[in-house]
Amino acid sequence: GQSLEQPSEVTAVEGAIVQINCTYQTSGFYGLSWYQQHDGGAPTFLSYNGLDGLEETGRFSSFLSRSDSYGYLLLQELQMKDSASYFCAVCNTDKLIFGTGTRLQVFP
Amino acid sequence: DTGVSQDPRHKITKRGQNVTFRCDPISEHNRLYWYRQTLGQGPEFLTYFQNEAQLEKSRLLSDRFSAERPKGSFSTLEIQRTEQGDSAMYLCASSRKGGGETQYFGPGTRLLVL
């Protein structure tokens, strides 16, 4: 079977740093992607880790440890517009297997 | 790059009716994916195409669901004999070949089965 676990909800204040963890168990694994989805919107790609280590894209960074079946998304200098759901997704051959998502609420 | 488009954006139907959704991917993308998303859940993979070939279909997908991509461009997803449990957001995404980790999603079609 395949499963991904993320915290259901995280809250933080503007300007803070937040880390969203993801652990996975899958039968096939090519890498870990992260997507953002605002209420009523479509998922949008944020970051991908195909290899162990840290990937940095502006205020967002993502980390992967294959040996621990673990990854995280780090959001820095939080802004109100970052309030959204964040999904980790295992890239399995060419399809994505999504977690249940973490709802991030940013407060002023 | 005009993005992925889906039509219709909303569909209300009665149980037992057939519905068809359309997805137009980003023009240079040869991979096209269909997902279903219910409230509070992540997108659930349904099927995907490379050009006109359907390469994989979820084992969880009922025989009432069928998808086509006849000319390797747009795709249609048909649900026959709809059930209330089919109510969900149906998302389409596209990517370049070998770029399955980076998918571009359309706005989705929200289906409500009464």
CB contact under 8 A, A94 and B91: no
For B46-73, write each residue's pLDDT tens digit: 999 999 999 999 987 889 999 999 988 9
Six-digit token string for A62: 């993502």
Is the CB of residue A95 less than 8 Å from the CB of residue B48?
yes
Confidence band (pLDDT; 50, 70, 90) for B1? low
**Residue B100 reports pLDDT greater than 90:** no
Please return the burial class of A13, using the count of CB atoms within 10 Å of its CB with bins 0-12, 13-18 and 19+.
exposed
Q: What is the least distance, in Å, from the CA of B42 to any CA of chain A?
A: 5
Instruction: Please choose, from the candidates A52, A3, A58, the residue with its C-alpha nearest in 3D space to the C-alpha of residue A36.
Output: A58
**Residue listed under structure tokens 């407060």:** A107
Contacts of B35 in chain A (CB under 8 A): 98
Least confident window among A20-24, A49-53, A54-58, A91-95? A91-95
For B13-31, write each residue's pLDDT tens digit: 999 999 999 999 999 999 9
**Pairing relation of β-strands A9-13 and A102-107?**
parallel
How far apart CA B111 and CA B10 sit, in angstroms, is 6
Is the CB of residue A100 less than 8 Å from the CB of residue B40?
yes
Give CA B62 to chain center in angstroms. 14
Mean pLDDT of all residues belonging to chain B: 94
Confidence band (pLDDT; 50, 70, 90) for B99? confident
Give the type of residue at B73: S
Q: What is the least distance, in Å, from the CA of A41 to any CA of chain B?
A: 6
Six-digit token string for A38: 């605002």
**Residue A10 reports pLDDT greater than 60:** yes
How far apart CA B12 and CA B94 sit, in angstroms, is 25
Q: Is A93 helix (H, G, I), strand (E, B) or coil?
A: coil
**Residue B98 reports pLDDT greater than 80:** no
